[in-house]
Structure 1
Amino acid sequence: MVTTPTALLVHGAFADAGSWTGVIAELQNHGIPVVAPPNPLRGLASDAAYIASQATQIDGPVVLVGHSYGGAVITVAGAAENVVGLVYVAAYIPEEGESLGELQGRFPLSPLVSNLTEKTYPVDGGDAAVEVTIKPEAYPAVFAADVPAAVTKVLAAAQRPLAASTFTETASVAAWKTKPSWAVVAGADEAINPEIERFGAKRAGATVVEVEGASHAVAVSRPKEVAELIRDAVRATS
């Protein structure tokens, strides 16, 4: 019988699963099973359904870990029966019935908002929907100020766009109400106002670790600290 939870890592917008590389290595070195599937970034309900399906197909308990927008995804996907804990990494932590736009609107806007570029993509029916990315020239300062420049240049080129509709879509459930949670607050985050991270973590009753001076890309720049909190969650839910 599987007793050690699998850590399922969910990346957010403007990144991909490769952003978890350092964290994955740390967890594997400590014998923790880990998977990091792609997050579609097409809509909160559909993204959460996909991640929940990934979780339920894992044999044994699962700790969901969400970075950035991935925090909203695990908040909904975390209702899956075999999910035993939630870890938020520089993330949004919405309430049931709350959109990211509503949560974000309670606090001063971060520099991210004024540094987004809009493009369109095709959807069923022949219509076009809007997606956003960070302007390449703004990416280092906004997303990854404490990451080496050469790495940041690659991250900016490989960033995955987020459907703009995700900012108005509401969370259908808040799994943190019934599952224990942990949170990493990135103290120097310029993508999500750190006050949003602190507010969400406090509201969820999460065990919080604040990483002073960390950018939004805290999982890239400070993988050991992020992995340590995930290990705490795994141990607590084993």
Structure 2
Amino acid sequence: MITPSPGLREHVAARWVRHGAGPLPPSLPEPAVDLLVMPGRGLWLAGAEQVARQGELPPGGKLIGFRLRPGACSAWLWLAADEIPLGGAPIEDLMGTRDARALEAGRLEPRREPDALMLRVVRAMAARPELTVAEHAELACLSERQLRRRFGQAVGLGPKAYLRVTRLHRAVESARESLKLGKPPRWADIAARHGFYDQPHLLAEFRRAAGCLPDALADGRFLQATAAPPSSRSAHEQH
């Protein structure tokens, strides 16, 4: 079992657990790198998602994931987040055996600080998701090319992809809040509030990212199936 050092634990946004084998549950893509404890297969890293993963959970026990904050990979694991395979890879293949063992034992030390400017960009995207990538680049005093390169290294996705995924998360969370209050989600209002052109645009983005038909979102089935939160908030909500 991995025992992250106190410094590394500060860069974990959420811990989650999946039990048993079988199809992966419905979900939205997560725009963050996950450090995985795989049953019988040791530690893996899995890259940030633009589209929710499909497939089967591995047999042999529970799957534990540590969702890493932006910048954690380059600071602590000495890897650019956008170099980590989406499908995952053993930590030894990415870091080498010695560093992988140090990570598992809680003895790994950071080599650098996270990219503070990219952390500010992530916070700006949360505060003003309606802005374009060009506008965020201008606020950061960077060219769009510089922003794309540094953002990908810190987060694992390009800024445009990150904005698309996080906007969808916020829209779905707004719909879930409506259900908690006993009200049907007003999709046109939610779409406008979270930067979509209109309701059809939101539903099309949902279908592309979640891999299921928009009617699952419209009648609340997806919202109910994904209502159980991880042990702490997701990476795109905490920075």
Q: By the TM > 0.5 criterion, same fold? A: no
Higher strand share: 1
Larger Rg: 2
Report the TM-score when normalising by structure 1.
0.25
Higher helix share: 2
